[in-house]
Amino acid sequence: MSGIRHFLEIDDLTPDEVLRVLDLSLAAPRSDLLAGSGAVFLFEKPSARTRTSVEMATSQLGGHPVALLSDEVGIDRRESAEDLARLCSGMGRLLGARVYAHSVLERLAGASTVPVVNLLSDDAHPIQTLADLLTMRREFGSLSGRRVVFVGDANNVARSLAIGCSLVGATFVWSGPAEYGFSDADRDRIAAAGATVEVEADPRRAVAGADVVYTDTWYSMGQEQEQAARTAVFAPWRVDAELLGLASERVVFLHCLPAHRGDEATDEVLDGPSSRIWSQAHDRLHTARGLFTFLLDPDARGEGS
């Protein structure tokens, strides 16, 4: 495949390409790849892991990162998404964006002449999924056949992880309150990717035999006003030591972070022996670098000129 490769959802990569990006993530950086150039990152929402990882990845590839934050970027307020894409295409070799509406990413991609990378939208968080898969691969060696149980809100992180699991041959199980399951649009998108989701409402049954128990906040960015209502509904799906103890002996606990400690997971779990949350967070850097290398370097994709 040639031309610009955008990365808006995890299945913008084929299964082989996902594994290739994971390999590139562990390889020594091509420190000349972005020499004399860099990347532009637009953030409509706050970020710690994503911003630091993409900025550091850009630097490790020899480039300069420029991050524009919500009010200064003003997507569709100060300037249209399309005009920002045209601007940024001439300023760097890659454009990343964290947005509310996923359609904004699609519009950026439509007008950009450089790869557009989803740094999280209301619908999807695929750059997170790459790190999740790398952390799992470090742990288990291979991903195929693993049972990944996501306990909590069927949100952006869950959607991308569901599709990502399917790409690598892992089983994805979701357990949460019925009213916070995947939307029809998400179910359609997951099905369009050829992925399936096993649903088990009872968290105790869901985690039985799990290789990975994964959770995320019960109220995502933009949903803060729903915090009280959601916290009451989600309480039975809190990951505590007792619930985690019902999974397999080798279970690994993951969380994309930031965590609301005591809500979706207890300190005992977040800081316990099964937790890999810090290696997962640090894998954000390695997978950002691996992804950028893949998107920017035809040789890394096996498409040498």
Catalytic residues: 98, 125, 128, 216, 256, 284
Tally of CB atoms within 10 A around 210: 25
Our CB check for ligand NVA shows the closer of 19 and 221 to be 221
Q: Which residues bind ligand NVA (CB under 6 A)?
A: 120, 155-157, 216-217, 220-221, 256
Write the Ramachandran bin of 302: left for phi over 0, alpha for psi from -120 to 50, otherwise beta: left
Strands 94-98 and 252-255: unpaired
Our CB check for ligand NVA shows the closer of 175 and 293 to be 175
Q: Which residues bind ligand CP (CB under 6 A)?
A: 47-50, 120, 128, 256-258
- Of 173, 167, 134, which Cα lies nearest the Cα of 152? 173
Our CB check for ligand NVA shows the closer of 64 and 187 to be 187
Q: In angstroms, what is the minimal distance from the CB of 217 to ligand NVA? A: 5
Our CB check for ligand CP shows the closer of 154 and 256 to be 256
Our CB check for ligand NVA shows the closer of 47 and 171 to be 47
Q: In angstroms, what is the minimal distance from the CB of 220 to ligand NVA? A: 3
Our CB check for ligand NVA shows the closer of 50 and 293 to be 50
Q: In angstroms, what is the minimal distance from the CB of 51 to ligand NVA? A: 11
Q: In angstroms, what is the minimal distance from the CB of 221 to ligand NVA? A: 4
Tally of CB atoms within 10 A around 26: 14
Helix (H) or strand (E) holding 289: helix 277-296
Instruction: Give the torsion sign (CA, 231, 235, 239, 242).
Output: positive
Token readout for 96 is 């990343």
Q: Which residue has the tokens 């399936």?
A: 196
6 interface partner picked from ligand CP, ligand NVA, none, CB below 5 to 8 A per type:
none
State phi, psi for 229 to the nearest 5 degrees: -65, -45
Q: In angstroms, what is the minimal distance from the CB of 272 to ligand NVA? A: 21
**Is 165 within 8 Å of 141 (Cβ atoms)?**
no
215 interface partner picked from ligand NVA, ligand CP, none, CB below 5 to 8 A per type:
none
Q: How far apart are CA 208 and CA 216, in angstroms?
A: 19
214: β partners: 150, 254
48 interface partner picked from ligand NVA, ligand CP, none, CB below 5 to 8 A per type:
ligand CP
Q: In angstroms, what is the minimal distance from the CB of 83 to ligand CP? A: 26
Q: At 70, which amino acid appears?
A: S
CA atoms within 13 A on the CB side of 140: 22
58 interface partner picked from ligand NVA, ligand CP, none, CB below 5 to 8 A per type:
none
181 interface partner picked from ligand NVA, ligand CP, none, CB below 5 to 8 A per type:
none
216 interface partner picked from ligand CP, ligand NVA, none, CB below 5 to 8 A per type:
ligand NVA
Strands 116-118 and 94-98: parallel
Q: At 68, which amino acid appears?
A: L
